[in-house]
């Protein structure tokens, strides 16, 4: 099986459409969404509708949880809080219900999906470094052999073997069965790894190889829509540079 994995769309319809076409061309067997359909971008409702129509599995992101009333967000910084308020008023009842029904984790065979750190997925902890993984991880026996996450908008991954945890970045990751892996799939709609192209990935369950794929899209159109909507300019400007 070839899984197409994508995350952190954040209402960026231009990026999402290009990524879905790209994954279709790559002939994946199943599409899996790792959360945060909404937030930051100008098309939260349309993004939800498009993801609902194509994804075979989806998990809940923190922005999805906030917009659907499943978690408080009063402590978010002003621009993010305002964006969530803006999304709440624009996401349809049907898509709200979809977000409320999403699980924090999904598993298929030896592969698990969640938005943030898989240890306590409802806490939406970020994974940036190997030390951070070690601090959060009490017992790696609970981890799936391969776990895919989003949330950080980065492309940093982690290999866990015996008592060691290594962080690495690479375009292709071979998940040898002697170790466990936590792989961050990057962001479709708000990349922050200094590459503004929309990011997603493909995992082949037979070869156990994950490969990143990047796609150009109309960044300037997506940015203009953010500005025209009255959302924070920083959400549009960061699309230009991928930070």
What pLDDT score does 64 carry? Answer: 98
CA separation for the pair 187, 39 (Å, rounded): 13
Each residue's pLDDT, cut to its tens digit, for the chain (243 residues) gives 999 999 999 999 999 999 999 999 999 999 999 999 999 999 999 999 999 999 999 999 999 999 999 999 998 999 999 999 999 999 999 999 999 999 999 999 999 999 999 999 999 999 999 998 988 887 677 899 999 999 999 999 999 998 899 999 999 999 999 999 999 999 999 999 999 999 999 999 999 999 999 999 999 999 999 999 999 999 999 999 999
What pLDDT score does 141 carry? Answer: 74
Pairing relationship of beta strands 57-58 and 30-33 according to DSSP bridges: parallel
DSSP β-bridge partners for residue 172: 211
Q: Where are the alpha helices (DSSP H) in the chain?
A: 13-25, 44-54, 62-67, 78-88, 93-101, 130-136, 219-228, 233-237
Please say whether the dihedral angle defined by the alpha carbons of residues 173, 189, 65 and 127, taken in this order, is positive or negative.
Answer: positive
Q: Which helix (H) or strand (E) holds 165?
A: strand 164-168
Q: Which helix (H) or strand (E) holds 200?
A: strand 198-204
What radius of gyration do the chain's Cα atoms show?
Answer: 17
Are 153 and 191 in contact by the 8 Å Cβ rule? The answer is: yes
What pLDDT score does 138 carry? Answer: 75
What pLDDT score does 136 carry? Answer: 84
Closest CA to 190 of 66, 3, 2, 19: 19
3-state class (DSSP) for residue 134 = helix
CA 3 to chain centre: 14
Q: What pTM was estimated for this model as a whole?
A: 0.96
The pLDDT tens digits of the residues spanning 145-203 come to: 999 999 999 999 999 998 899 999 999 999 999 999 999 999 999 999 999 999 999 99
What pLDDT score does 13 carry? Answer: 98
Domains of the chain: 2-240 (3.60.21.10)
């Amino acid at each position: 099986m070839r899984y197409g994995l994508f995350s952190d769309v954040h209402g960026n319809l231009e990026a999402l459409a290009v990524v879905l076409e790209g994954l279709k061309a790559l002939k994946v067997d199943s599409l899996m969404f790792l959360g945060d359909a909404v937030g930051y971008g100008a098309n939260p409702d349309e993004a939800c509708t498009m993801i609902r129509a194509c994804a075979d599995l989806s998990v809940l992101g923190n922005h999805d949880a906030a917009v659907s009333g499943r978690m408080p967000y009063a402590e978010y910084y002003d621009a993010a809080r305002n964006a969530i308020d803006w999304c709440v008023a624009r996401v349809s009842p049907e898509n709200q219900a979809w977000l409320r029904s999403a699980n924090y984790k999904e598993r298929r065979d030896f592969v698990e999906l969640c938005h943030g750190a898989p240890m306590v997925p409802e806490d939406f902890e970020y994974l940036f470094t190997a030390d951070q993984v070690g601090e959060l991880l009490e017992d790696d026996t609970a981890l799936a052999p391969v776990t895919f996450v989003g949330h950080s908008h980065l492309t940093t991954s982690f290999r866990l073997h015996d008592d060691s945890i290594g962080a690495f970045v690479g375009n292709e990751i071979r998940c040898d069965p002697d170790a466990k892996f936590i792989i961050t799939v990057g962001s479709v709609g708000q990349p922050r790894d200094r590459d503004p192209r929309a990011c997603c990935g493909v995992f082949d369950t037979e070869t156990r190889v994950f490969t990143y794929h990047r796609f150009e899209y109309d960044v300037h159109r997506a940015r203009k829509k953010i500005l025209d909507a009255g959302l924070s300019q920083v959400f549009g400007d960061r699309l230009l540079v991928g930070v």
